[in-house]
Amino acid sequence: MNVCAIIPAAGQGTRLGGATPKQFQTLRGKPVLHYTLRTFQESGLIDSLVLVVPERERKNARADWLKRPSVVKQVVVGGEKRQDSVYNGYKFLPTDTDIVLVHDGVRPFLSKRMIQETVHVAEKFGAAITAISVHDTIKQVDAAGLVQRTVERNGLWRVQTPQAFRYDLLGEAFRKAQADSFYGTDEGALVEYLGREVRVVEGSEWNLKITRPEDLVLGESIVAKLFPEC
Ligand code: C5P
């Protein structure tokens, strides 16, 4: 089975502030992306990986990540939205790919277990996403800060990456989304839009998405725990 990964890392990271996008900011001296790619590299489960970066990072990223031996086989430029970036990456996958994993560059603490399980479920059923169930009380709030209603949290899940798909199914989902100008915030939404089933695999609270300045502080502690030699 040929398993390939796309890592979208072409965001501008404006929410974190500063000129450096969050995937290139450092945790214990190494870029966030270093930890993300390292887990894919060391998992031994991936045949090749397409890294998607902003135009201005392409040259540096190629120099840094295309060193051999590396699971990173292509460094390509992203698009306007995350979905455009992932679709750009998809176009560079080998056509004999069986399963495609999509994982945000800004989630450096995924585990080998998540890669393994999403690939396994996608092989069996077509599409698998990692997610964790919601424990907080959820409310819908309007722009003025007024609570509109309390949402029943039973059955709600917070979605993460990695997500895994059969290659043909993901291609079909991208083409349909593009034809209809449909945008989702994950690839699972594109498969749902196609009317096909998507299965959930247990994610993890460790699988933090580096979004806000405080996430870098949390990230430093997680690196110390998961990568003690760094
Ligand atoms: O935008 P969001 O925070 O959901 O970003 C998730 C991932 O998608 C990040 O790794 C980011 O770099 C990437 N991204 C991208 N191209 C964009 C926007 C986001 O590759 N145009």
Contact yes or no for 174/167 (Cβ under 8 A): no
| Alpha carbon distances (Å) from 10 to 30, 62, 77 | 18, 14, 7
The domain of 178 spans: 3-226
**Atom from ligand 1 closest to the CA of residue 107:** 10
Task: Give residue 12 CA to ligand 1 midpoint distance, Å.
Answer: 8
Domain count across the chain: 1
**Atom from ligand 1 closest to the CA of residue 106:** 10
Most informative mutation of 85, 87, 88 for ligand 1 (most atoms within 8 A of CB) = 85
Task: Give residue 202 CA to ligand 1 midpoint distance, Å.
Answer: 22
Question: Helix, strand or coil for residue 93?
Answer: coil
Query: Which residue's CA is the nearest one to ligand 1's atom 3?
Result: 211
pLDDT value of residue 15: 58
pLDDT value of residue 19: 74
Ramachandran sector of residue 67 (left: φ over 0; alpha: ψ -120 to 50; beta: rest): beta
Q: pLDDT in tens for each of the 230 residues of the chain?
A: 999 999 999 998 655 556 788 999 999 999 999 999 999 999 999 999 999 999 999 999 998 888 767 899 999 999 999 999 999 999 999 999 999 999 999 999 999 999 999 999 999 999 999 999 999 999 999 999 999 999 999 999 999 999 999 999 999 999 999 999 999 999 999 999 999 999 999 999 999 999 999 999 999 999 999 988 87
Query: Which residue's CA is the nearest one to ligand 1's atom 7?
Result: 104
The answer to whether the peptide bond before residue 69 is cis (omega within 30 degrees of 0) is: yes
Task: Give residue 158 CA to ligand 1 midpoint distance, Å.
Answer: 17
Most informative mutation of 82, 109, 209 for ligand 1 (most atoms within 8 A of CB) = 82
For the CA atoms of 90, 54, 178, 93, what is the dihedral angle to 10 degrees? -10
pLDDT value of residue 96: 97
Token pair in block for residue 23:
């995937």
**Atom from ligand 1 closest to the CA of residue 8:** 20
Task: Give residue 91 CA to ligand 1 midpoint distance, Å.
Answer: 17
Q: How far is CA 166 from the centre of its chain?
A: 16
CATH number of the domain to which 166 belongs: 3.90.550.10
Q: What is the C-alpha R_g of the chain?
A: 17
Task: Give residue 79 CA to ligand 1 midpoint distance, Å.
Answer: 10
How are the residues of the chain apportioned to helix, strand and coil, as percentages rounded to the nearest 5? Answer: 35, 25, 40
Q: What is the number of H-type helices and E-type strands within the chain?
A: 7, 11
**Atom from ligand 1 closest to the CA of residue 52:** 20
Whose structure tokens read 């209809």? Answer: 180
Whose structure tokens read 């479920």? Answer: 121
Residues lining ligand 1, Cβ inside 6 A = 8-11, 23, 52, 78-82, 85, 104-106
